[in-house]
Amino acid sequence: MKTTAHRFRRGMTLLELTVAMMVGMAIGATILAMLNQQIAFLKIFRAQSFLNEEAPIISSHVTKLLVNADRFRLHASLADALAGTNPRLTDSPVCVLNYRQPDGTYRAGILSFENRGQGNSLYYYVVPTSGILTTPQWAVTNKPVNISFFMDSGVIRTRMTGPAGEEIIFSGAMQ
């Protein structure tokens, strides 16, 4: 004959179940906090990635183009740049660069931040002698959300806004 003291317990008491649920919730809250921290870290890393990797390369390419130019003009559009109308010194998405050739003539190149149907990009055009632009020779970058050129104390500067809203200004001086 079995007594009640020898019966096997089946299931868990309310206290044991409560402790198990609290431990599970604490583990879940810790995992959620770690996930939020990782997401914040990735956002910072992505912003710094642009500043540390992409921006110096863009600066190097654009500065080489600006430094080798003998003169420049800023315009609000490619059409104004090609027509030579409405030059300006304030923030402009288009910069016409003139380079002296070995024979003494000038050849023009254009840096233009524009949308050609695939989002905004910075393009470089070599202006043919006919003056009719077709497609850009190359795309410098498509990472920034805005690029503009402007004059400051006789120096051409480039203002670039990155994907996370960070802003960088770099300068180029004429020869």
Could you tell me if residue 3 is inside a domain? no
Task: Give domain status of residue 21, yes or no.
Answer: no
Residues 6+ apart with CB under 8 A from 97: 65, 66, 69, 71, 72, 108, 109, 110, 111
Residue 147 lies in domain: 42-172
In a domain, 82, yes or no: yes
List the alpha helices (DSSP H) in the chain. Answer: 14-49, 55-68, 78-83
* Residue 25 within any structural domain of the chain: no
In a domain, 17, yes or no: no
Phi, psi for residue 167 in degrees, rounded to 5: -125, 135
- The reply to whether 107 falls in a domain is yes
- At 98 the pLDDT is 92
- What's the structural domain count of the chain? 1
Q: Which pLDDT score is estimated for 3?
A: 56
> For the chain, which ranges sit under pLDDT 50?
175
Distance CA 109, CA 72 (A): 9
What pLDDT score does 4 carry?
Answer: 57
Please check whether residue 9 lies inside any domain of the structure: no
In a domain, 56, yes or no: yes
Tell me the pLDDT tens digit for each residue of 111-143.
999 998 888 999 999 988 777 778 888 889 998
- The whole-number pLDDT of residue 173 equals 58
pLDDT at 74: 94
